[in-house]
Amino acid sequence: MLKKITFKVLIITILLLNQNSIFGQQLKIEPYEFITASNDTVQAERGTFMVKENREKSSSDSIKLSFIRFKSTNQNPSNPIVYLSGGPGGSGSETAKYERFELFMKLREVADVIAFDQRGTGMSDRLIDCPVKLNIPMSKPLTKDDYLKITTDNLKKCKSFWDSEKVDLSAYNTTESAKDLDALRKVLNVSKISLWGISYGSHLGFEYIRLFEENIDKMVLASLESPDETLRLPSKTDAFLNEICERAKDNYGMSPKYPNLKNKIIEVHKRLKEKPVVVEIEDDKGKKIKVGISDFELQIAITAIYLRDPSISNKIPKLYSELHSGNFSEIAQMIKLIKQSISEPENPMSFAMDMHSGASDTRKKEIRKQLKTSLLGDGINYLMLDWIDELNYFHLPEEFRKLKENNVKALLLSGKMDGRTYLSSAVEIAKSFKNGQHIIIDNAGHNLYMLSPVIGDLVLEFFKGKELNISEIKLEPVTFE
């Protein structure tokens, strides 16, 4: 009996060694000169490795995943820190080229910092965009039903195209991406990784907790999107707009002040709902064009463009005051851009990821209930709620949408003026982290990491393992125009 047990242990050991060897062979590392958008240069490494595109299918092909590794300046580095981009569709290697480059470099004091390109993004293998362009009439005000018909017809054509090209959209979901992250951990030959992310990156981080909590060292997440918050609640969007109205009354003690902003906003949307407008503006080449504006199109413009950060939401009081007086010139320019953007071919990765994340039946029911009285409607979700029901392409199982209580050592960051992922939701998310610390940043919006050196220093200190004796940061407000 002893000999048989010893033999079994030997076989298992050999298999494990072979498995590690296979993973090691998958990883390819080469020197890489990383150049930022401002032409700063740093010597880094580019890593690539292969994973199955669809782990649910035995016959699935492999795809190549890519990352940039900035080597630690610490002689005794901690576990690697992996950056998770937002989106879905954001690229880690692209993000590192811009303002967060400074923080990527700073975190090297702790460990290797890895800008990971999630499947379908950046330098990882990409999917084929749908070649079919939408025909969005520029001069006609379009209702939500108009957009729904145009886009669902288009998406059905795109799905047929992707099927004909053997594009496996069912493989592009947050669960597969979380498994990619753990495959990255394995090829790096480390027992744990630390995660650093924002927005959709937190959505991915929560799934990694659900599946691989024991493999996490530390975690820093900002602008939190829980597993069941791909679709936002209209009531929270309206509440955020109310917050802007309240702050605009006094405008932080500066001028101009907007004491009646809420009433003006209500009146503007009421008028547009009853009678859409057509506005003549000049395009980029100085040519006169007409832009149709409906209430739904205004809702899309406000939620997609103006709510994210104080650097742009500070325009809302002036914008609505102009709309109230009949001046649609600025918003017409924004709606022109939106119509042009919507007309562009569909990105399959972003589309599939969001469709898979979807929403629970309870959340869908609550959204539809709130839409009956919401001022900004479903603008922030665009047409996702209807696409999920009408197209019925993909949907991860319900356990995916349940935020797991966990013991991860985490730093969670939220901006009070974030109009994309709301503070009230973040407070609830933070309750699931038994060993987490939630820091609220007043006057910060969605993109908060680089708003103040204090924030970057906190992230660095946290990854160094130091205690952060702080629960709130107050930044200088961005006054309203």
User: Is the separation of the CB atoms in 337 and 358 below 8 Å?
Assistant: no
Distances (CA, A) of 434 to 37, 438, 466: 39, 11, 17
Q: What is the DSSP letter of 406?
A: B
- Which residues on adjacent β-strands are paired with residue 413? 222, 439
Structure tokens that stand for 428 in this block: 């609830």
Give tens-digit pLDDT for 205-227: 999 999 999 999 999 999 999 99
Structure tokens that stand for 76 in this block: 């005794």
Cβ neighbors of 8 (< 8 A, separation 6 or more) are none
- Judged by average pLDDT, the poorest of 4-13, 215-224, 322-331, 396-405 is 4-13
- Judged by average pLDDT, the poorest of 18-22, 368-372, 388-392 is 18-22
Residues, the chain? 481
Give tens-digit pLDDT for 53-103: 999 998 889 999 999 999 999 999 999 999 999 999 999 999 999 999 999
- Strand 436-442 and strand 409-415: pairing? parallel
Residue 102, judged by CB atoms within 10 A of its CB (0-12, 13-18, 19+), counts as middle
For residues 293-298, average pLDDT: 97
Structure tokens that stand for 223 in this block: 């602008």
What is the rounded distance in angstroms from the CA atom of residue 448 to the CA atom of residue 309? 9
pLDDT of residue 285: 82
Q: Give the whole-number percent of the chain exceeding pLDDT 70.
A: 95
Residue 271, judged by CB atoms within 10 A of its CB (0-12, 13-18, 19+), counts as middle
User: Is the separation of the CB atoms in 111 and 80 below 8 Å?
Assistant: yes
pLDDT of residue 345: 84
Confidence at 327, pLDDT banded by 50, 70, 90? very high
**pLDDT above 70 for 33:** yes
pLDDT of residue 135: 87
* Strands laid side by side in the 216-222 sheet: 28-35, 41-52, 62-70, 113-117, 81-84, 193-198, 216-222, 409-415, 436-442, 472-474
Task: Spell out the domains of the chain, with CATH numbers in brackets.
Answer: 26-127+175-227+403-474 (3.40.50.1820), 129-166+234-398 (no CATH)
What is the rounded distance in angstroms from the CA atom of residue 353 to the CA atom of residue 188? 26
Structure tokens that stand for 243 in this block: 């917050």
Structure tokens that stand for 352 in this block: 């599939």
What is the rounded distance in angstroms from the CA atom of residue 47 to the CA atom of residue 32? 9
Give tens-digit pLDDT for 44-53: 999 999 999 9
Question: Phi, psi (5° rounding) for residue 79?
Answer: -60, 145
Confidence at 286, pLDDT banded by 50, 70, 90? confident
**pLDDT above 70 for 407:** yes
To the nearest whole number, what is the mean pLDDT of the chain?
A: 93
Structure tokens that stand for 210 in this block: 């659900």
